[in-house]
């Protein structure tokens, strides 16, 4: 089902779902890379996105702001967004700053994909 | 770790990030965008903007914005009420209307808040540096949905102080750039006036000699071309052109009858005429020229590498390079223009003169440069063909070019010295 991309460490497309891998430190540079990747997927019609934080140890303020921007862009384009594999430390920060209210959270990438598929199977209005 | 400790650590880290971003001065708008990211990311805010305040016009210009879409204009004009503060304590003299006026920042906050409330702005933070409003930060609601606390507002102000410093530094930098640009324009204007004055002088010099109209200007042009061919820089080339224009300024003190004598002048008259390089130096020396050595070019343009020139009889290495160039340009123009007592020389004759006098009257390196420039123009390798325009299109015939090339080769190899020695007196 998955379809590896040219840069498999960055993102992996799964039909109309894409998985974007955040690096170990989400700051301005890596945040912009995540943002670019997500926006490109959305522009290409992807309507479900997972950002996998499995390697992420730290997210700084610029990283948080960029993620909030990605959340906005996903909302505007009708793309479902999930964060997966978020460490306890990062999860706490996301909670305090309100990000967890805006995205689907999953322990693993598979769980995130399953959740997004569930959503997509639900007919509109339900 | 408690939530409040976690938030304090996050804010501290944000302050450090902000410091780094503010230090980035090469791209102002990118710096402001990054600063806005820091502020939004510190408090988990989805919408925000940073606007810069122009104290001269009272306009707030949005430099970075996130999440507002097109709901706000690019610029906002602050009404005078806000600009002058609640106490109405503006300057009143129109000199710097907003420099000291914006003391009641609450009024600015209120004004902006009123305008942007519907767009979702919840907090307005004026950016003040040294008592002067430099901009504002507009913040939308927190992603957590929790209302802003007093601590949040304090944090926004603390971050805002850094952002304000970034805006202020940028303003100072622009001011410095503007002044530098003004100074540059002023300098160019003054240089233009100087050149016009020099041209007027050159025309005055040439007016005195009815047979050499345009001589100074041509010497200036030839000198410029030779210097460029020798690889001189733009400033030095400009200087040598001026030196060429002014080389005969000393003739202003020589009797007009001597200058215009339609016959060979006697020894006394010749001595009088030969005063003109030293007189030129005395005229030019007190002037603050934008280029060095111009008085020296006038003083030494009749010196010769063999030491038989005047006024001091300097030898090759003692003669300033600029004077050597002006000397050849001066002689070249004399050879290639008609005089009352003789017609101008043919190009063949000029080449022969160069061959005969290189190392004696003229510096061989300078002769090579002039010959190269002539060769390039004659072959159409350089545009515009400045010398051909001055000499006349057909002055350098095709058949003379091999001799010109041979002269260049001989001068470069030193072969002309052997020839000169062989043909010299026993």
pLDDT in tens, A68-82: 999 999 999 999 999
Q: What is the CA radius of gyration of chain B?
A: 36
Please tell me whether residue A29 adopts helix, strand or coil conformation: helix
Per-residue pLDDT of chain B (426 residues; tens, 9 = 90+): 788 888 888 888 888 888 888 887 678 889 999 999 999 999 999 999 999 998 888 888 999 999 887 666 777 777 665 555 433 444 444 444 444 444 567 777 777 888 888 788 899 999 988 888 899 999 999 999 999 999 999 999 999 999 999 999 988 998 999 999 999 999 999 988 988 888 888 888 888 876 777 899 999 999 999 999 999 999 999 999 999 999 999 998 888 888 887 777 888 888 999 999 999 999 999 988 878 889 999 999 999 999 999 999 999 999 999 999 999 999 999 999 987 778 999 999 999 999 999 999 999 999 999 999 999 999 999 888 899 999 998 899 999 999 999 999 999 988 765 554 444 333
Query: Cα separations (Å) of B143 from B38, B66, B139, B155?
Result: 15, 14, 11, 16
* Torsion B378-B382-B387-B390 (CA) sign: positive
B15 min Cα distance to partner chain A (Å):
9
A76: closest chain B residue by CA: B67
* Torsion B269-B271-B272-B276 (CA) sign: positive
Among the residues of chain A, which ranges form H helices? 28-43, 61-77, 88-97, 109-121
How many C-beta atoms lie closer than 10 Å to residue B426's C-beta?
2
CB contact under 8 A, A61 and B145: no
pLDDT at B72: 66
pLDDT at A10: 53
pLDDT at B425: 35
Query: Cα separations (Å) of A59 from A42, A73, B40?
Result: 23, 19, 14
What distance in Å separates the CA atoms of residue B373 and residue B228, rounded to the nearest whole number?
9
pLDDT at B83: 54
Please tell me whether residue A21 adopts helix, strand or coil conformation: strand
Place of tokens 């430190």: A25
| Contacts B34 to A, Cβ<8 Å | 28, 62
B3-180 and B212-423: identical CATH topology: no
CA B346 to chain centroid, in Å, comes to: 41
What distance in Å separates the CA atoms of residue A87 and residue A107, rounded to the nearest whole number?
9
Burial letters B310-327, b for 16+ CB under 10 A, else e: ebeebeeeebbbbbbbbb
**CATH number of this structure's domain B212-423, picked from the four choices 1.10.3210.10, 3.30.2020.30, 3.40.710.10, 3.30.230.10:** 1.10.3210.10
Interface test with B, best of A27, A32, A39, A62 (most B CBs within 10 A): A62
Count Cβ–Cβ pairs < 8 Å, chain A vs chain B: 78
pLDDT at A122: 53
Place of tokens 């504002």: B136
What distance in Å separates the CA atoms of residue B21 and residue B8, rounded to the nearest whole number?
20
Q: Can you name the residues that pair with A49 across neighbouring β-strands?
A: A18, A81
What distance in Å separates the CA atoms of residue B175 and residue B392, rounded to the nearest whole number?
51
Query: Cα separations (Å) of B381 from B141, B148, B372, B378, B396?
Result: 69, 74, 11, 8, 14
Nearest of B386, B1, B4 to residue B226 by alpha carbon:
B386
Q: Does B308 touch chain A (CB under 8 A)?
A: no
pLDDT at B256: 86
What distance in Å separates the CA atoms of residue B372 and residue B378, rounded to the nearest whole number?
10
pLDDT in tens, A17-30: 899 999 899 999 99
What is the four-CA torsion angle of B28, B32, B37, B40, rounded to 10 degrees? Answer: 180
**Domain B3-180 carries which CATH code?**
3.30.450.40
Burial letters A58-76, b for 16+ CB under 10 A, else e: ebbbbbbbbbbbbbbbbee
What distance in Å separates the CA atoms of residue B19 and residue B163, rounded to the nearest whole number?
9
B257-264 — which CB contacts under 8 Å span 24+ positions? Answer: B259/B208, B259/B209, B260/B209, B260/B210, B260/B211, B262/B340, B262/B341, B263/B341, B264/B341
B165 min Cα distance to partner chain A (Å):
19
CB contact under 8 A, B45 and A68: yes
Residue A119 has pLDDT above 90, yes or no: no
Q: What is the percentage of chain A residues whose pLDDT exceeds 70? A: 82
Looking at per-residue pLDDT, the higher value among B287 and A105 belongs to: A105
ipTM field? 0.85
CB contact under 8 A, A61 and B38: yes
Looking at per-residue pLDDT, the higher value among B340 and A114 belongs to: A114
| Structural domains of chain A sorted by starting position, each given as residue range(s) with its CATH number in brackets | 3-117 (3.30.750.24)
pLDDT at A1: 36
CB contact under 8 A, B41 and A60: yes
Q: What's the N-to-C CA distance of chain B in angstroms? A: 106
A90 min Cα distance to partner chain B (Å):
10
Q: What angle do CA B216, B320, B288 make, to 5 degrees?
A: 65
Residue A60 has pLDDT above 90, yes or no: yes
Asked whether A105 and A86 are in contact (CB, 8 A), the reply is yes
**Structure tokens that stand for B321 in this block:** 């390079």
Q: Sort strands A58-59 and A25-26 into parallel, antiparallel or unpaired.
A: parallel
Domain ranges of chain B: 3-180, 212-423
A83 min Cα distance to partner chain B (Å):
16
- My answer on whether omega of the bond before B160 falls inside 30° of 0, hence cis, is no
| Contacts B39 to A, Cβ<8 Å | 61
What distance in Å separates the CA atoms of residue B322 and residue B286, rounded to the nearest whole number?
19
pLDDT at B301: 97
């Amino acid at each position: 089902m998955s379809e590896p991309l040219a840069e498999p460490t960055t993102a992996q497309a799964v039909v109309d779902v894409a998985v974007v891998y955040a690096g170990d430190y989400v700051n301005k540079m890596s945040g912009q890379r995540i943002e670019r990747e997500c926006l490109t997927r959305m522009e290409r019609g992807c309507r479900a996105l997972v950002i996998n934080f499995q390697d992420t140890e730290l997210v700084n303020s610029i990283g948080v702001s960029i993620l909030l921007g990605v959340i906005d862009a996903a909302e505007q384009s009708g793309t479902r967004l999930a964060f997966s594999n978020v460490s306890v430390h990062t999860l706490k920060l996301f909670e305090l700053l309100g990000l967890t209210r805006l995205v689907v959270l999953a322990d693993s990438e598979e769980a995130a994909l399953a959740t997004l598929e569930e959503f997509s199977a639900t007919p509109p209005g339900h | 770790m408690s939530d409040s400790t976690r938030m304090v650590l996050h804010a501290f880290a944000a302050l450090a990030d902000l410091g780094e971003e503010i230090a980035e001065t090469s791209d102002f708008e990118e710096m402001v965008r990054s600063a806005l990211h820091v502020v939004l990311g510190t408090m988990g805010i989805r919408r925000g903007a940073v606007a810069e305040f122009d104290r001269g016009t009272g306009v707030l210009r949005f430099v970075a914005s996130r999440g507002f879409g097109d709901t706000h204009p690019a610029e906002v004009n602050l009404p005078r009420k806000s600009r002058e503060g609640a106490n109405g304590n503006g300057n009143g003299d129109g000199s710097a209307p907003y420099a000291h006026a914006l003391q009641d920042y609450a009024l600015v906050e209120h004004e902006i808040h009123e305008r942007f409330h519907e767009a979702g702005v919840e907090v307005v933070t004026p950016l003040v540096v040294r008592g002067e409003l430099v901009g504002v930060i507009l913040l939308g609601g927190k992603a957590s949905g929790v209302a802003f606390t007093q601590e949040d507002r304090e944090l926004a102000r603390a971050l805002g102080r850094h952002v304000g410093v970034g805006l202020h530094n940028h303003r100072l930098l622009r001011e410095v750039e503007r002044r530098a640009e003004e100074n540059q324009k002023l300098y160019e204007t003054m240089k233009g006036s100087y050149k016009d004055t020099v041209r007027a002088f050159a025309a005055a010099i040439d007016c005195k000699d009815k047979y050499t109209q345009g001589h100074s200007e041509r010497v200036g042009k030839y000198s410029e071309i030779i210097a460029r061919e020798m690889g001189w820089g733009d400033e030095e080339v400009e200087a040598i052109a001026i030196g060429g224009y002014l080389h005969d300024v000393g003739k202003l003190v020589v009797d007009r009858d001597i200058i215009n004598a339609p016959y060979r002048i006697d020894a006394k008259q010749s001595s009088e005429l030969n005063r003109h390089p030293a007189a030129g130096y005395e005229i030019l020396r007190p002037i603050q020229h934008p280029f060095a050595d111009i008085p020296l070019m006038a003083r030494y343009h009749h010196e010769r590498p063999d030491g038989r020139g005047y006024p001091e009889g300097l030898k090759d290495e003692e003669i300033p390079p600029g004077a050597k160039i002006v000397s050849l340009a001066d002689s070249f123009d004399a050879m290639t223009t008609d005089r009352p007592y003789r017609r101008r020389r043919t190009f063949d004759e000029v080449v022969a003169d160069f061959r005969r006098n290189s190392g004696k009257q003229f510096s061989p390196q300078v002769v090579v440069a002039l010959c190269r420039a002539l060769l390039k123009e004659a072959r159409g390798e350089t545009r515009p063909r400045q010398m051909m325009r001055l000499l006349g299109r057909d002055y350098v015939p095709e058949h003379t070019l091999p001799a010109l090339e041979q002269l260049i080769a001989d001068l470069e190899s030193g072969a002309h010295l052997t020839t000169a020695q062989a043909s010299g007196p026993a």
